[in-house]
Amino acid sequence: MGKNGRRKRRQAAAQVQRSEAWAEDFRARHAARSATRQKRAVADKRLNWFTRLGNGSQVLVALGGITAVVVGHFALWGAVLPALGAAVGRVPVVSTVAGWLFGGGAFLAWGVYAINEKTARPATAQALGTTAWVWSGVACMMVPSSYANDISLPVDFWAGAYASAYGVVATPLALGVVALGWWLLVNKLAGHKEEPSSQAVGWICVGYATLLLVWGSTLLRT
């Protein structure tokens, strides 16, 4: 009985140790899975709403956006711009700025967003970002076309609209020039390897928008 009792006690102790080891392993795996889920949730929150969509939904949203831009292009040039041009066409400065706002204002909106992105409250930064995206859609509608070229607008209003429209078209070229200038002046000549900060990008956008406005105000009126 003594040997059997000791054997049973050893078996019971071994069983308890195995149970405790299994429980500890289970808790560790559960904690690891919870940490992984939390990391994924944080990563998902950092993604924008479009990235979180499935592939099919992304295609539908993209097609809907393209359709909206095409329809908006004809509505903007066919109805909105002529009506607004007629309303402000008698005041040269106001007329030029009003024409410029449709395209040039988008670059200004992105500039304001980038400058304040890291310092503004989250709700304010989100509102600025939403405004910039919506304004970008309007700017895409300003892209020149044969239909747009046939629309008659007051001269000063046309100058602002012309500058902003071709400013949108020239965006890839402007980005290339800025990237080349940053690489040459900052990376090579100054020896700094960092990428441009959000504030620097914001001021570049503001500068480009201002350049378009100056161009529109100095276009030859004939």
Q: Report the C-alpha gap between 109 and 51 in whole angstroms.
A: 22
State residue 50's pLDDT score.
Answer: 65
Tens of pLDDT, residues 103-161 = 999 999 999 999 998 888 989 998 999 999 999 999 999 998 899 988 989 999 999 99
pLDDT in tens, 28-60: 777 777 767 666 555 455 556 667 777 777 788
pLDDT of residue 11: 67
Distance CA 59, CA 182 (A): 35
User: Does 74 have pLDDT greater than 80?
Assistant: yes
Write the DSSP symbol of residue 35. H
What pLDDT shows up at residue 221? 53
Choice among 10-14, 65-69, 75-79, 124-128 with the minimum mean pLDDT: 10-14
**Token pair of 98 as six digits:** 């009003």
Q: What is the model's pLDDT at position 2? A: 55
How far apart are alpha carbons 129 and 68 in whole angstroms?
20
pTM score, two decimals?
0.72
Instruction: Indicate if the pLDDT at residue 69 is higher than 80.
Output: yes
> What pLDDT is recorded for position 133?
92
**In which residue are the tokens 């914001």 written?**
202
Q: What is the pLDDT of residues 177-219, one digit of tens each?
A: 988 988 888 887 777 777 888 898 999 999 999 999 999 988 7
Of 12-26, 68-82, 156-170, 181-195, which gets the smallest average pLDDT? Answer: 12-26
Structure tokens given for 130: 């939403």
Whether the per-residue pLDDT at 5 is higher than 70: the answer is no
End-to-end CA distance of the chain: 117
Nearest 5°: CA angle at 213, between 150 and 111?
115
Judge contact between 150 and 144, C-beta under 8 A.
no
User: Tokens 């700025």 identify what position?
Assistant: 97
pLDDT at 49: 64
**Dist CA 166 CA 208 (whole Å):** 12
DSSP 47: S
